[in-house]
Structure 1
Amino acid sequence: MVDALLRNRDALHSVLTRVATAEAATDELFRSMRALSGAPWELLRNSPDRLGRLATFLPSNNLLYSYVLFGVIPSLYTDEVRIRPSARVAPAAMAVHEILGPQLRGLGGGRIIMAPSSQREFLADCARSDAVVFTGQPDNGEAVAAHLPADALLLTFGSGPNPLVVGPEADPEAVTRTVLDARLYNSGQDCLCTDVVLVHRSVVGEVVPRLADALSGVRVGDRRDSGTRVAPLVYPDAVEDAAGFLAAHREFTVRGGGVDMARHVVEPTLLHLPWQDAFHPPEFFSPVVCVMEYDDPGQITRWLRSPEETARGMYVQVFGEPALAGAARISTSVVCHERITFDAEDGNRPFGGYGPRAGSVRRHGTATGRPLLLSAEAGLRAGA
């Protein structure tokens, strides 16, 4: 399977850059190969139950990687995988399947069937499936759950703000590069991107100017160009949401703030906000770096334990904050020490945190928020 990706890497890269920057598409190819290479270990470790049918709602980004995680690897223990591509990117998703599907059929997995369909039509497939993978808004996941039989396994993958903490012992220059890596992946269009950067007041005077300078050098252009870091956004509503947020917070703008609605371009932007307990950032899905200044690490733990953040706790990335050292999780957020979410994510291990709106597994009408991996949940289903 890895060989099939390697043989078709140029064709796949060309398809992926319809919706992703060239840099992100290259990363996605490597992540997909790594996940396939780790699949034998994953299945040996989790001993998943044999599934008759899996129904997968493919997300509108990370098309190849999601196809591998929620289609190809599950096909090794599933008779039939049915995939519904997101209507927003259906032609690109279908192109990935057309490239890889014929080559994967002869490699011992189950059938992988992908076809555009209405949500109503696909819900009928879900109702006849042993397991369902849903990627999208949690409220829509609840609607899917209502159509499933009681014994069906439902995994819902949402998103979280993934705050990045810059503590008093962080290296300002190094952490500047880290923040951009965490925020600008695929122009910010990824659920693992950081939506708020919490900076200790003792270093904010060094970090904010460095971030402003670094953002001024970010190249904006065609997503197919390998030098482009920020490209036109794929989703018009993401442009509209960013424009609305930036207009409402214009007084906090340090750098950027421009939005070209016609070209779907959001300028790389830096905001600097004072601490607000009640501030819960939206999922920007755009190149907006939102800094909020804190005085005491207790503010961070209280914020993460608020009802809003407990519900959507995913990851919290901690750099140079000794008060948070050693913690495995804070409330429902899994702690990444001195690394960002993209470094921590591993396609062969459970993904995410414990916030029910960030990701949950549902059995017999009960939903539980926890890190998710389909093979592990199918193993639990079998009593392994």
Structure 2
Amino acid sequence: MTTNLGTKENTVFTERHESIEKCVDYLTTHRSEILSILSNISSYRAANAEIDSTIKTLQGAMREVETYRPACQDSMAVFMPSNVILYSYALYLLIPSLFVNRIEFRASSHVAEYVSLLHDKLKEVHQLPISNLKVSQKAFMTNSVSQANIVVFTGTYQNAEQIKKQMSREQLYIFFGQGINPFIIGPDADLSLAADDVIRMRLFNSGQDCLGPDIILTHESIAESFKNLLLEKVEALTFGANDDPNANYSPIFYKDILTAMSEYFNNNDKYIIYGGGIDFRTKKMEPTILYSKLEDRLEIAEYFSPVFNVVSYPDDEQLMKLIGSSYFSERAMGCSLYGSEHLVDKLRKKHTLTINQTLEDVEQGNKAFGGYGTMSNYIFYDMQLVSKPILISEVVAEFLAEKRIEV
């Protein structure tokens, strides 16, 4: 290693950019190989979109770190997520390798087999000091996490909090969780656009995506029209295997989701107006629409499945009371607004807000993303917690500016 990391003129391992470029070339020329791995857990559309997003993000990697100029660190430990495994590999491993000397990660048990396949192929290409540790969580905590300058955790808030308790003052701890990501459809909304977009987001990877909306809040004056339009469009959707390019939705990969949603449907059957069927043999879950009024207080779940939870609200006051409640505030990440643009400023205070477009349309891997809810994402350093949209390179630059390693 010859890079002088102690000067502001050179804050990254610039020689590693060639490895990033090799990965871009590999993903472009060996797309079918990567697709065959991702298709084990993702639909055809989702897998292809993930490859495209990964390539685009890696192409912007050097520009990103040159923009934020993070101080180079010695080590990083990463708890990888159970979905979007290629995109996560880029965000949490490849790009940070430009400013972190060595990175160790532990795959989620749900997808460890496929993460290992992916890592083995990419490792041959990039040859970077990124290691896949096939150890227990306890061993990973003891041997990697406790020694790391930076720790990244993706998963549930409850698990994140358990790990946070073990962080020292000097460690930078970054948590990526999930939010409710409400769709809000006002009385003046373009209903066809809203219906198309909510179907696109809720059925992305058959609903197995953290950006999917867990509630669709629809003004009561247009709720009936929207419900009927959504029914018409959902009825036309087709089921198919993960390698079927024409399928609108595919088998559910995560078996615990099937069990959890079966119980949820059974407990809330009176609100189901379409679907509700689950075939445990084929892992097919019918796109399901639940319809209720705000006053019914239907339980909100992180559905992670093709479920449309449509809730009508009477007026802005009741809507904003719900959005401002502790339950929603703690889980504030993204929000998509259709019509009612007078609410923009209020909604932006806590969310990454999109107007007449989806979170998928605006999410870009080289820019900070997330919300201001502590259960959605946060940064923990020197015993202080900050919740805001996160980009790892920017966070490292902000919190570890004085902790540059010398080589």
The question of a shared fold, defined as TM-score above 0.5 by the shorter chain, is answered with: yes
Structural mapping, 1:234-245, within 5 Å: 234-245=253-264
For 2:132 and 2:283, locate their aligned partners in 1 and report how far apart those are by CA, in whole Å: 29
Where does residue 33 of structure 2 map in the other structure? Answer: 11
Contact 1:280–1:308 (Cα < 8 Å) also in 2: no
CA-to-partner distance for each residue in 1:90-143, whole Å, 9 max, x for gaps?
A: 1111111111111112xxxx4111132210111120101000110001111112
Distance 2:224 2:376 in 1: 33
The equivalent of 2:130 in structure 1 is 112
> 340-349 or 66-75, which moves further after superposition?
340-349
**8 A Cα contact 1:220 1:230, kept in partner:** yes
Amino acid at match of 1:188: G
Q: Aligned partners of 2:162, 2:341: CA distance in 1, in Å?
A: 43
Paired positions, count: 379
Give the secondary structure class of the aligned counterpart of 2:222: helix
Deviations 1:158-199 (A, max 9, x none): 101100011111122222111101211100001101111011
Q: Does 1:299 align with 2:318?
A: yes
- The worse-fitting range, judged by mean Cα deviation, of 221-230 and 66-75 is 221-230
2:49 aligned with 1:27? yes
Question: 1:191 aligned to 2:191?
Answer: no
State the alpha-carbon separation in 2 of the partners of residues 83 and 44 from structure 1. Answer: 25
What displacement does 1:308 show? Answer: 0.9
Does residue 162 of the first structure (1) align with residue 184 of the second (2)?
A: no
Aligned to 1:45: 67
Looking at structure 2, the residues matched to 104 and 117 of structure 1 have their Cα atoms a distance apart, in angstroms, of: 23
Report the 3-state secondary structure (helix = DSSP H, G, I; strand = E; otherwise coil) of the residue aligned with 1:376. helix
Would the aligned equivalents of 1:127 and 1:148 in 2 still touch at CA under 8 Å? yes
Between 271-280 and 63-72, report the one with greater CA deviation: 271-280
Indicate the SS of the match to 2:131: strand
Task: State the TM-score, normalizing by the size of structure 1.
Answer: 0.95
Q: Distance in 2 between matches of 1:303 and 1:249?
A: 20
1:327 Cα deviation after fit: 4.6
- Map 1:1-384 onto structure 2 (within 5 A): 1=21, 2-105=24-127, 110-124=128-142, 125-276=144-295, 278-279=297-298, 281-327=300-346, 329-330=348-349, 332-383=350-401
Tell whether the 8 Å contact from 1:350 to 1:373 is kept in structure 2 after alignment.
yes
Deviations 1:63-87 (A, max 9, x none): 0000000000001111111111111
Report the Cα distance in structure 2 between the residues aligned to 1:326 and 1:188, rounded to whole angstroms. Answer: 29
Secondary structure at the counterpart of residue 61 of structure 2: helix
The structural deviation recorded for 1:350 is 1.1
Matched residue of 2:295: which SS?
coil
Runs of 4+ in 1 over 4 A off after TM superposition: 277-280
Q: Which amino acid aligns with 2:54?
A: S
Distance 2:324 2:339 in 1: 21
SS of the equivalent of 1:202 reads: coil
Q: Secondary structure at the match of 1:228?
A: coil
Cα shift at 1:276: 3.2
Aligned residue type for 2:384? T
Deviations 1:302-347 (A, max 9, x none): 11111111111111110011331455614x2232111111112111
Answer with 343-352 or 184-193: which moved more: 343-352
Q: Find the aligned partners of 1:100 and 1:322 in 2 and give their Cα distance.
A: 45
Report the TM-score, using the length of structure 2 for normalisation.
0.90
> Counterpart of 2:270 in structure 1: which amino acid?
E
Secondary structure of the 1:289 match is strand
How far the C-alpha of 1:366 sits from its partner, in A, is 2.1
Contact 2:378/2:388 (CA < 8 Å) preserved in 1?
yes
Write the letter of the residue equivalent to 1:308: Y
- Structure 1 residue 221, shift from structure 2 partner: 2.0
Q: How far 1:207 moved relative to its partner?
A: 1.1
**2:292–2:311 contact (8 Å) kept in structure 1:** yes
Q: Deviations over 1:187-227 (max 9, x none)?
A: 00011011110111222222111111211121112111111
Contact between 1:22 and 1:223, CA under 8 Å: does it hold in 2?
A: yes
Provide the rounded CA distance (Å) in 2 between the counterparts of 1:382 and 1:53.
13
Please report the RMSD computed on the Cα atoms of aligned residues, expressed in angstroms: 1.5
Determine helix, strand or coil for the equivalent of 1:205: helix
Deviation readout 1:348-371 (Å, 9 max, x if unpaired)? 111210000100000122222111
For residues 10-36 of structure 1, the C-alpha deviation after alignment (integer angstroms, 9 at most, x for no partner) is 100110000000100000001101111
Do the aligned residues in 2 keep the contact of 1:59 with 1:136 (CA within 8 Å)? yes
Structure 1: segments with no counterpart, 5+ residues: none
- Greater Cα radius of gyration, structure 1 or 2: 2
Go from structure 1 to structure 2 and tell me whether the alpha carbon gap of 1:85 and 1:336 turns closer, same or farther (over 3 Å shift).
same
For residue 8 of structure 1, report the CA deviation from its aligned partner: 1.9
- Asked if the contact 2:292/2:298 (under 8 Å) is kept, the reply is no
Runs of at least 5 residues in structure 2 that lack an aligned partner in the other structure: 1-20, 403-407
Inter-partner Cα distance in structure 1 for 2:298 and 2:373 = 18
Give distance in 1, aligned partners of 2:190 and 2:332.
26
Residue-by-residue CA offset, 1:39-69 (whole Å, 9 max, x unaligned): 1221111111111111111111000000000
Amino acid at match of 2:29: R
Specify the code of the residue in structure 1 equivalent to 2:389: P
**Separation in structure 2 between the aligned mates of residue 63 and residue 115 of structure 1, nearest angstrom:** 16
